[in-house]
């Protein structure tokens, strides 16, 4: 039968088509949503650097999505060579549910394996029609706040913690009042997207909401891509030091024979080239001296607190706030 | 034997309906206008918008969006997935319809119900089934890892998920027709000394060829357009495991709206071609049946 012949022909074609992927050195970088533009540039720079160092060609493949969702995919077997996720808790989850990254991954690279940091700011429509100045404006009646789902998105968890840090200072550490503040804030959230980029498109492209809680780099990028005549950034009185972290998925990389190049890839993020690229894409570099001064000048001054000084540790916050049945689940249940 | 069409959707010829309604022409025109406006608003307008947005940056931008490496790889992957899953489901659909319509056996109703399962299960669940089965912590995951076989987050997983969601199309198209046609032709062939396989090839298959083509068309359209199930098992690796629908999402999320709509217009064109081919078949196939070459 003709169709059987066709099927066989396609099966043979398929095998031939999939094979060449293994000829070159290929790295898979599993990352979160807003890093697309950064890694597009960085991968090019690293490929050039690696060719000069070793004469070897390296292709870096990218997978982007909500940070929690991406961690889940790596746990389920997505063969990442390196993970560059939004927060350490997601890489902790990978270490906990399997052997892809070692338990002590965070000690393997400088600055707790965070080559760049960011923070959370507000993006509002041009002219700030609702007069949003600070966190307490977000709980006002009738304000629509756009933020992704903390269950699946790393950025969303930083948003949550930044709001909490504000409430903690505003109410002098009264836990009950802080919780109530967060509950009122999430009552103003009409859509919970799964990732930061989804929330940004909801706000800028679909025109929903009065204020977007966004990664600083994501807010800058939205303005750059979609026009400074449409949106502006509002800097709140206090925000959080968001530390996106990176790790070599050692078990995968060793199996793929890419351990050396994977480690060099992440180390290159700390090099002057990597740091300058981070600043260019609106991430705050950990070694600012390598970055262009005009890039650094774009970052506003914000009073920043860290997770460690405010809440203890990510492991603690993850368990009490974002685990099943944790504080966020209760807040979200109270919405209805 | 009556010439009942494949699906008995219109039990009365139009003339009978006209004679039994008493609405004034005004009411009838108004109803037609409502239906047409509705179609224009909800079907035609979005379709036109897709092409308008795609061409907003000019023809050059449109073409470059379709020829850049990631788009080409998405097109190749989509074609590959369809080229495997459509023939597979065609063979399965034929076999299942033949078994169900022409034979009696225990568990026939179970099989019929199972064929419908992919229609009633959400595509996301369909994808998750494969992650749970073949994922690293799934039932077969550790064994697959040991033997270096990649299924989920690679091309085989995408093919499996697509096969699952497109499984019913061919079978669903063939079963009612085969049941309608009965077994008289086959019995005649057998009594004249044809073997079982000859009977199938020369009698059963020609009798259902248009319905088969129709089912294959629908199956193909869904295979190329599937998003949910494929999204779960793809791993979203750019230029490697992104199919066309996933590539549209990626481009849209990168603020690359012209390219996103350009790729979307490819899928929309596929839908239009399918629609035209489908209408043509319906018309042609209905005609072929009415002239009754075999009965």
- Alpha-carbon distance of B177 to B200, in angstroms, equals 15
Cβ–Cβ gap B238/A62 under 8 Å:
yes
Cβ–Cβ gap A201/B252 under 8 Å:
yes
Cβ–Cβ gap B84/A10 under 8 Å:
yes
Mutate to test the interface with A, among B220, B235, B242, B251 (most CBs of A within 10 A): B235
Confidence of residue A60 (pLDDT cuts 50, 70, 90): very high
- Alpha-carbon distance of B278 to B270, in angstroms, equals 12
CB A208 within 8 A of CB A193: no
Q: Give the closest of B137, B155, B253 to A18, CB-based.
A: B155
- Alpha-carbon distance of A222 to A231, in angstroms, equals 8
Q: Identify the H or E element spanning A114.
A: none
pLDDT of residue B9: 46
Q: Identify the H or E element spanning A335.
A: none
B291: pLDDT strictly greater than 50? no
Give residue-wise pLDDT tens across range A75-84.
998 999 999 9
- Alpha-carbon distance of B64 to B49, in angstroms, equals 20
Cβ–Cβ gap A77/B80 under 8 Å:
no
Choice between B108 and A275, residue whose per-residue pLDDT is larger: A275
Distance of CA A62 to the CA centre of its chain: 14
DSSP letter assigned to residue A301: P
Coil, strand, or helix at residue A239?
strand
Percent with pLDDT over 70 in chain B: 89
CB B31 within 8 A of CB B21: no
Q: How far is A177 from chain B (nearest CA, A)?
A: 37
Q: What are phi and psi of B206, to 5 degrees?
A: -60, -30
- Alpha-carbon distance of B235 to B242, in angstroms, equals 8
Nearest residue to A84 via CA among A97, A67, A59, A99: A67
Q: Give the closest of A11, A36, A198 to B254, CB-based.
A: A36
pLDDT of residue A44: 94
A100: pLDDT strictly greater than 50? yes
- Alpha-carbon distance of B65 to B74, in angstroms, equals 12
Cβ–Cβ gap B131/A11 under 8 Å:
no
Q: How far is A147 from chain B (nearest CA, A)?
A: 16
Choice between A71 and B180, residue whose per-residue pLDDT is larger: A71
> Strand pairing of A82-85 and A245-248?
antiparallel
Coil, strand, or helix at residue A269?
coil
Q: What is the mean pLDDT of chain A?
A: 87
pLDDT of residue B190: 86
Beta-bridge partners for A238 = A303
Cβ–Cβ gap A61/B239 under 8 Å:
yes
pLDDT of residue B20: 58
Give residue-wise pLDDT tens across range B119-156.
888 888 988 989 888 888 888 888 888 888 888 899 99
Q: How far is A71 from chain B (nearest CA, A)?
A: 11
Q: Which residues of A touch B131 (CB under 8 A)?
A: 76
Biggest alpha carbon–alpha carbon distance for chain A: 79
| Own/partner long-range contacts of A165-173 (Cβ < 8 Å, ≥24 apart) | A165/A238, A165/A239, A165/A240, A165/A305, A165/A310, A166/A134, A166/A135, A166/A136, A166/A236, A166/A237, A166/A238, A167/A135, A168/A310, A169/A238, A170/A135, A170/A136
Cβ–Cβ gap A75/B141 under 8 Å:
no
pLDDT of residue A260: 93
Q: How many CB pairs under 8 A join A and B?
A: 81
- Alpha-carbon distance of A41 to B262, in angstroms, equals 24
**Overall average pLDDT of the A204-226 stretch:** 89
Angle CA A49–A53–A56, to nearest 5: 85
Give residue-wise pLDDT tens across range B4-42.
444 444 444 555 555 556 778 888 889 999 999 998 888
**Overall average pLDDT of the B196-212 stretch:** 84
Q: How far is A137 from chain B (nearest CA, A)?
A: 29
- Alpha-carbon distance of B217 to B89, in angstroms, equals 12
A-proximal residues of B, 110-149, CB under 8 Å? 131, 134-138, 141, 145
Nearest CA in chain B to A197: B253
Q: Which residues of A touch B237 (CB under 8 A)?
A: 28, 61-63
Cβ–Cβ gap A225/B83 under 8 Å:
no
Nearest residue to B69 via CA among A168, A61, A69: A61
Coil, strand, or helix at residue A212?
strand
Percent with pLDDT over 90 in chain A: 50
pLDDT of residue A121: 93
**Overall average pLDDT of the B56-85 stretch:** 91
Identify residues of A whose CB sits under 8 angstroms from chain B CBs. Answer: 3-4, 6-7, 10-11, 13-14, 17-18, 21, 28, 33, 36-37, 61-65, 73, 75-79, 97-98, 197-198, 201, 205, 222, 225-226
Q: How far is A104 from chain B (nearest CA, A)?
A: 21
Cβ–Cβ gap B237/A28 under 8 Å:
yes
Confidence of residue A15 (pLDDT cuts 50, 70, 90): very low
Q: Give the closest of A33, A78, A225 to B153, CB-based.
A: A78
Choice between A143 and B282, residue whose per-residue pLDDT is larger: A143
Q: Which residues of B touch A2 (CB under 8 A)?
A: none
Sequence-ordered alpha helix ranges (H) in chain A: 2-18, 36-54, 67-75, 88-96, 110-113, 154-170, 175-187, 196-204, 216-226, 250-256, 259-268, 272-280, 293-296, 307-311, 314-317, 327-333
Q: Which of A115-119, A195-199, A218-222 has the highest mean pLDDT?
A: A115-119
pLDDT of residue B17: 52
Distance of CA A20 to the CA centre of its chain: 32
- Distance between terminal CA atoms of chain A? 59
Q: Give the closest of B88, B136, B145 to A75, CB-based.
A: B136
B292: pLDDT strictly greater than 60? no
Choice between A231 and B274, residue whose per-residue pLDDT is larger: A231
Query: DSSP of A123-169, one letter per residue?
Result: EEETT-TT---SGGGGGSTT--EE---TTT-HHHHHHHHHHHHHHHH
CA atoms within 13 A on the CB side of A227: 6
- Check residue A265 and give left, alpha or beta (phi > 0: left; psi -120 to 50: alpha): alpha
For CA atoms B99, B100, B101, B106, give the dihedral sign. Answer: positive
CA atoms within 13 A on the CB side of A75: 17
Angle CA A152–A153–A159, to nearest 5: 130
Confidence of residue B170 (pLDDT cuts 50, 70, 90): very high
A98: pLDDT strictly greater than 70? yes
Cβ–Cβ gap A21/B240 under 8 Å:
yes
Listed range (B87-91, B160-164, B251-255) with the worst mean pLDDT: B251-255
- Alpha-carbon distance of A29 to A78, in angstroms, equals 10
Cβ neighbours around B241 below 10 Å, total: 24
- Alpha-carbon distance of B159 to B80, in angstroms, equals 9
CB A78 within 8 A of CB A63: yes
């Amino acid at each position: 039968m003709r169709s059987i012949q066709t099927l066989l022909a396609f099966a043979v074609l398929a095998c031939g088509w999939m094979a060449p992927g293994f000829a070159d050195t290929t790295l898979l970088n599993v990352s979160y949503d807003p890093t697309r533009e950064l890694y597009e540039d960085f991968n090019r720079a690293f490929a050039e650097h690696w060719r000069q160092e070793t004469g070897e060609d390296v292709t870096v493949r990218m997978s982007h999505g909500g940070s929690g969702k991406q961690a889940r995919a790596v746990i389920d077997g997505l063969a990442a060579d390196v993970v560059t996720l939004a927060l350490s808790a997601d890489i902790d989850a990978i270490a906990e549910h399997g052997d892809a990254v070692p338990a002590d991954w965070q000690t393997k690279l400088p600055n707790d394996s965070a080559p760049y940091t960011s923070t959370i700011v507000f993006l509002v429509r041009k002219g700030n029609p609702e007069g949003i100045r600070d966190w307490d404006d977000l709980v006002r009646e009738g304000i629509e706040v756009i933020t992704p789902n903390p269950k699946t998105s790393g950025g969303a968890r930083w948003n949550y913690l930044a709001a909490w840090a504000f409430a903690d200072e505003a109410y002098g550490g009264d836990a009950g009042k802080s919780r109530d503040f967060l509950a009122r804030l999430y009552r103003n959230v009409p859509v919970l997207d799964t990732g930061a980029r989804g929330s940004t498109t909801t706000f800028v492209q679909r025109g929903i909401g009065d204020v977007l809680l966004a990664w600083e780099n994501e807010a800058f990028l939205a303005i750059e891509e979609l026009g400074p005549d449409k949106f502006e950034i509002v800097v709140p009185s206090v925000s959080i030091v968001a530390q996106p972290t990176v790790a070599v998925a050692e078990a995968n990389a060793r199996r793929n024979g890419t351990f050396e190049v994977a480690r060099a890839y992440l180390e290159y993020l700390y090099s002057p080239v990597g740091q300058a690229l981070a600043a260019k894409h609106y991430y705050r570099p950990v070694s600012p001296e390598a970055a262009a001064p005009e890039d650094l000048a774009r970052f506003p001054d914000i009073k920043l607190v860290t997770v460690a000084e405010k809440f203890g540790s990510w492991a603690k916050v993850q368990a009490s706030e974002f685990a099943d049945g944790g504080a966020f689940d209760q807040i979200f249940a109270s919405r209805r | 034997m009556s010439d009942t069409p494949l699906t008995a959707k219109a039990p009365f010829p139009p003339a009978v309906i006209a004679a039994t309604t008493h609405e004034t022409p005004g009411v009838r025109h108004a109803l037609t206008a409502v239906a047409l406006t509705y179609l224009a608003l909800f079907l035609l307008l979005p379709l036109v918008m897709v092409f308008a947005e795609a061409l907003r940056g000019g023809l050059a931008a449109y073409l470059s969006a379709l020829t850049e490496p990631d788009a080409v790889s998405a097109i190749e992957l989509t074609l590959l997935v369809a080229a495997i899953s459509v023939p597979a489901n065609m063979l399965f659909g034929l076999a299942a319809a033949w078994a169900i319509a022409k034979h009696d056996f225990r568990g026939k109703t179970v099989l019929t119900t199972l064929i419908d399962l992919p229609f009633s299960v959400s595509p996301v669940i369909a994808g998750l089934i494969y992650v749970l089965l073949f994922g690293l912590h799934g039932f077969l995951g550790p064994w697959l890892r040991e033997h270096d076989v990649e299924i989920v987050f690679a091309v085989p997983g995408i093919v499996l998920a697509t096969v699952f969601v497109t499984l019913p199309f061919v079978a669903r198209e063939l079963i009612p027709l085969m049941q309608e046609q009965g077994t008289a032709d086959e019995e005649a062939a057998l009594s004249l000394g044809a073997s079982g396989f000859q009977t199938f090839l020369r009698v059963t298959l020609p009798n259902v060829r248009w319905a088969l083509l129709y089912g294959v068309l629908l199956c193909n359209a869904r295979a190329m357009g599937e998003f949910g199930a494929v999204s779960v098992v793809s791993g979203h690796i750019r230029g490697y495991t992104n199919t066309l629908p996933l590539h549209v999402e990626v481009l849209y999320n990168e603020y690359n709206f012209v390219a996103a709509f350009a790729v979307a217009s490819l899928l929309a064109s596929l839908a239009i071609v399918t629609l035209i081919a489908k209408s043509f078949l319906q018309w042609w196939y209905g005609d072929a049946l009415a002239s009754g070459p075999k009965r």
